[in-house]
Amino acid sequence: MNFRQLQTACLLVVSLSFPPLTQAQLLGLPLDDLLGLLDSDGDLIIDLIDADRDGDGVNNTSDAFPDNPAEWGDIDGDGIGDNADPDRDGDGRNNNTDVFPSDPAEWSDIDGDGIGDNADPDRDGDGHNNNQDAFPNDPSEWADSDGDGVGNNGDNCPNNANAGQADLDGDGIGNLCDTDRDGDGYGNSEDGFPDNPNEWLDSDGDGIPNNSDPDMDGDGLNNAVDPDQDGDGLRDDDDAFPVDHTDWSDIDGDGKGDNHDDDRDGDGIPNSTDSSPDDLSTTNCP
C-alpha cells in the first residue's frame, strides 16, 4: 500500500468514527497522527488514546507487543512473544519439557514438590539434603559406604567396593563378599574351583576337576570301573560321597558331609558343644 492509499484508508476509518472532522482537516494531518486515529481493535476508541490498542487485555504500557493482540509478554527478551516462543524463558529447554517454562532459573522438579531443583535443598525428596546426599538426584539412594558409585540400597556388597556388581550365582550377594560365590554349596575357601558351580574338588590334583575327570583319583582306573572313584579308601557302595575324597558319611542326611558339617547329628547343637555330636538317638545337652 502506498502513502496515498494508506492515507485514504485512515480518512475512511476516522471519518466514520469522527463525522465532525472534514476530509480537508484530516488531509492536513501528518501520517503518524493519521495512523494514531486508527482503531486497531475495533473498540471505537482510536489507537491514539486507547490504553489497550490491540485489545488483548494488557495495557500498552505493560504490553511488550502493544500492536499484536496475540502477544503481550517476552520473558527472555529475545523479540519473540512468549505465546509463539518455543523456549519462552530462554533457559535452553523447550516449554514442553520445561517444568517451569516461565522461570529461566528452573526447568526440572525431580520430587514433584513444586520447588525447582536448583532451589530445592532436597531435590529428590528422600529426606536427605543435597549436600549430605551421595545421590541427590535419586530418591531411592543417599549413601555409598564403600565409595564404589553404587548406592547402599542397591549395592550387593555395600561394604566392599565392587562397581561392577558381579554376582556369579545370582543370589543377590556380590562375588566380593559372597562366601560361596559360585553357589555350589562349597565355601570359597574349601572349593578347589570357587568360580565353577559344577566343580569343587580335584582329588588327584591333576588340575582336572573331579566331575570332568575320567579318572578322578588318578589310580589308572577309569571311574566307570573303579570301585573307589574318589580314592578315599571307601568303596563307592559304602561312600555317601563317592566323588568327594574329603567326605564319605552324612549322619543326619542333610546332604552335607560330616567332615564339613558343624552339626553333624542335626540336633541343633554345634559339634563343639555337643556331648554326643554323632549320636542321633539322644537329645544332647551342651
- Helix, strand and coil content of the chain, in percent to the nearest 5, comes to 20, 0, 80
For residue 4, give every residue at least 6 positions away whose Cβ sits within 8 Å of its Cβ, in sequence order, or none. Answer: none
Q: Strand, coil or helix: what is 35?
A: helix
How high is the pLDDT of residue 281?
A: 74
Give pLDDT tens digits along the chain (286 positions): 555 555 555 555 555 555 544 544 555 556 556 555 788 889 899 888 999 998 999 999 999 999 999 999 999 999 999 999 999 999 999 999 999 999 999 999 999 999 999 999 999 999 999 999 999 999 999 999 999 999 999 999 999 999 999 999 999 999 999 999 999 999 999 999 999 999 999 999 999 999 999 999 999 999 999 999 999 999 999 999 998 889 999 999 998 899 989 999 999 999 999 999 988 776 555 5
Contact predicate 276/284, CB 8 Å: yes
Q: 221 burial class (0-12, 13-18, 19+ CB within 10 angstroms)?
A: middle
pLDDT the model gives residue 216: 93
Neighbour tally for 208: CB within 10 Å:
16
How far is the first Cα of the chain from the last one, in angstroms, to the nearest whole number? 112
The Cα–Cα gap between 25 and 162 comes to 91
pLDDT attached to residue 34: 58
Q: DSSP letter for 31, please.
A: H
pLDDT of residue 61: 94
- pTM attached to this predicted model: 0.62
Q: Is residue 28 within 8 Å of 34, Cβ to Cβ?
A: no
Q: How many helices (H) and strands (E) does the chain have?
A: 3, 0
